[in-house]
Amino acid sequence: MIETDNLTISSAARHLKNGDFSATELADTYLKRISEQNGELNAFLEIFDDVKNQAAAAQKKIEAGEATTLTGIPLAIKDNILIKGRRASAASKILEGYKASYDAAVIEKLNKGGVVYLGRANMDEFAMGSSTENSAFGPVKNPHDSSRVSGGSSGGSAVAVSAGLALAGLGSDTGGSIRQPASFCGVVGLKTTYGRVSRHGLIAMGSSLDQIGPLAKTVTDAEIIYKAISGRDPRDSTSISEDTYSVGVKKSPIIGIPRQVTEEKGLDSAVLKNFKDSLEKLKGLGYKMKDIGVPDPKDALATYYIIMPAEVSSNMARYDGVRFGLHKDGKDLIDDYFLTRGEGLGDEVRRRIILGTYVLSTGYADEYYYKANSLRSKMRADYAKLFDDVDIIITPTAPTPAFKIGEKTKDPLEMYLADIFTVTANVLGTPALSVPSGFAETEDKKLPLGLQFMAPMGGEEALFEIGKKFLGE
């Protein structure tokens, strides 16, 4: 078996090219690790039965000298990204039996590289959640402490990477769903600039917020996947071109530290200490720091929890039990809708549909939905001004380390607060990167913590630069 602890995409690609091991051996190694650990961790909902064939095809490519860095690399794909002919459930019962009739744009791109898809990664149902406890197929467990959550909604992909069940993974991020589980599991997670990666073939949640991005062990690996999946796609009308935003990478970028973070009294003490240690580390690396005041983070979270459910309530209307997925038979057509949606959709999904219907309804839309949208415009203007003075804004990725399974499931609002530092990037559309920054020691376990770098629109390169320096890559 291949030693996977220190294996990365870049090193595996080198070994594959040198013939140190084959793509088939690499896939076998991961399949074995999955069979040993997935029963406990529940990171994958399905392991594809053709992994060996995929690996053999990749090996042929390598031997023919046609390999790219991604050829033969075993990946975990979040269950809301369509791969033609394979099941896709978004971890929901309502998509029971659904098979994708086309490839997502990101999958088309990865296919060209000859990657190996290991399976469908578990997630919160329709990506709605911050702990992966909302999966209709059971929660994902954190490999650092199996009594704790993985974070979410891309918890399956984060755990797969963290526990060495995949070399990297794809997730989607609507309010922190890549970065927060990356932080909880000690891996790297990137939310890309809005429009950078096509969402064609991504099961939609909040369409003005959703982005696909990588989860990986290193920033270098995240960058490799980012380069492979990004690019303009006419099938996603929000998709942008290479030159939509012109941002260069500065030689000595200035880091902005929001004083709201360092002064926040509700912040977990281990998170605050780790954040301050990370600032020292960055100072030691020669970065200049600037104390800044950002718009109240509560503005961002409140705006997010208005706009997102509004979009959810609209996007979820397509699940009617007529064209695909689950169908529950009632006395007439409308009764079919009620029964199918009532039984097929979980608590959190129905809660958000109802909340979204509320904020969009006559009499409330002015107070909530339209006001949230104008606040969103104001936040964009405010942050654009901040980015005149600083190049990167840093915060902890999440206000706490991974919490206990079941700790917040009874209290949806408490769960929403887990997104406090991550939602801003989605509301603005800016890219943000979470990197592992150390551990919080609780009981007898060491729980990973993450540091979040946010750049202006189109600023991914600057994020990779600082992320690599921070991790010593």
Partner 1 sequence: MFLRGARNAIISNMISKDEVEKLALLSRLKLSHEEKDLFARNLEEIVEYISHIEHVSSKDLSNSKGTVGKIFNILRPDENPHQSGIHTEELVSVAPDREGDWIKVKKIL
399 binds partner 1 (CB under 8 A): yes
**Least Å distance between CB 423 and partner 1?**
12
The C-alpha atoms of residue 129 and residue 160 are separated, in whole angstroms, by: 18
From 92, 150, 177, 313, the catalytic residue: 177
**Distance set, CA 58 to CA 8, 63, 185, 268, 371 (Å):** 17, 9, 29, 46, 51
Q: Which of 58, 118, 188, 359 binds partner 1 (CB under 8 A)?
A: 359
**Least Å distance between CB 152 and partner 1?**
18
Site for partner 1 in 374-393 (CB under 8 A): 374-378, 381
423 binds partner 1 (CB under 8 A): no
Question: Three-class SS of residue 12?
Answer: helix
* Candidate ranges 109-117, 210-218, 414-422, 438-446; the one touching partner 1 (CB under 8 A): 414-422
The candidate with the shortest Cα–Cα distance to 132, out of 111, 107, 154, is 154
From 61, 78, 109, 141, the catalytic residue: 78
Is 153 designated active site? Answer: yes
Q: Which of 20, 40, 296, 389 binds partner 1 (CB under 8 A)?
A: 296
Total binding residues toward partner 1, as defined by CB under 8 A = 71
Q: Which of 14, 99, 259, 318 binds partner 1 (CB under 8 A)?
A: 99
The C-alpha atoms of residue 239 and residue 265 are separated, in whole angstroms, by: 39
The candidate with the shortest Cα–Cα distance to 202, out of 301, 83, 71, is 83
Neighbours of 413 (CB within 10 A): 8
Tokens of 229: 């999946």
**Least Å distance between CB 299 and partner 1?**
7
- 350 vs 445, beta carbon nearer partner 1: 350
**Distance set, CA 247 to CA 198, 351, 450, 460 (Å):** 20, 40, 25, 9
Distance of CA 285 to the CA centre of its chain: 28
From 89, 135, 150, 153, the catalytic residue: 153
Q: Which of 313, 315, 422, 426 binds partner 1 (CB under 8 A)?
A: 313
Residues contacting residue 466 through CB under 8 Å, at least 6 positions apart: 253, 255, 282, 287, 392, 453
DSSP state of 192: P
- 88 vs 160, beta carbon nearer partner 1: 88
**Least Å distance between CB 346 and partner 1?**
11
352 contacts 134 by C-beta, under 8 angstroms: no
- Helix pair angle (460-471, 219-229), 10° resolution: 160
Q: Which of 301, 394, 449, 463 binds partner 1 (CB under 8 A)?
A: 301
Q: Which of 5, 49, 251, 265 binds partner 1 (CB under 8 A)?
A: 265
**Least Å distance between CB 229 and partner 1?**
21
361 binds partner 1 (CB under 8 A): yes
**Least Å distance between CB 42 and partner 1?**
26
412 binds partner 1 (CB under 8 A): yes
435 contacts 219 by C-beta, under 8 angstroms: yes
297 binds partner 1 (CB under 8 A): yes
Is 385 designated active site? Answer: no
Neighbours of 253 (CB within 10 A): 18
Which residue shows structure tokens 């039990």? 321
- 118 vs 294, beta carbon nearer partner 1: 294
418 contacts 152 by C-beta, under 8 angstroms: no
The C-alpha atoms of residue 332 and residue 184 are separated, in whole angstroms, by: 46
Q: Which of 126, 226, 416, 464 binds partner 1 (CB under 8 A)?
A: 416
- 171 vs 356, beta carbon nearer partner 1: 356
Is 177 designated active site? Answer: yes
- 217 vs 341, beta carbon nearer partner 1: 341
Q: Which of 250, 259, 283, 298 binds partner 1 (CB under 8 A)?
A: 298
Contact flags string 314-343 toward partner 1, x per CB under 8 A: ---x--xxxxxxxx----xxx-xxxx-xxx
Residues contacting residue 273 through CB under 8 Å, at least 6 positions apart: none
241 binds partner 1 (CB under 8 A): no
**Least Å distance between CB 148 and partner 1?**
19
Query: What positions carry a catalytic annotation?
Result: 78, 153, 177
